Amino acid sequence: MIQKLIDALIDIVLFVPRLMFSLLVDAVELMLGWLPEIQIVDVQNVFNGLGGQLLYFLTVFEFGYGLTAIMTALIARFILRRIPFIG
């Protein structure tokens, strides 16, 4: 009996925040519908358009490895900042 009363009080207290969150989500969904559709470019065609000199320098500078290392470091920093007492 007391548990049902406590649950009812919690539902009453949380009604307004839940309603505000619902309205916020509906507003964001509506605004996302206003965004135009983006044409996705085929990546293979982009790389076929690169010149031989640019591909040479990307290979010399190990662009693939560097991009992977940078993304890994950024993801690790993001995860570490989420740990309490560390970030």
pLDDT tens-place string over residues 14-43: 898 999 999 999 999 999 989 888 887 777
- Number of domains forming the structure of the chain: 2
Same domain, 25 and 52: no
CB 55 within 8 A of CB 46: no
22: containing domain: 1-37
Identify the H or E element spanning 33. Answer: helix 15-34
Same domain, 43 and 31: no
Q: Provide mean pLDDT across the span 74-83.
A: 90
Same domain, 46 and 10: no
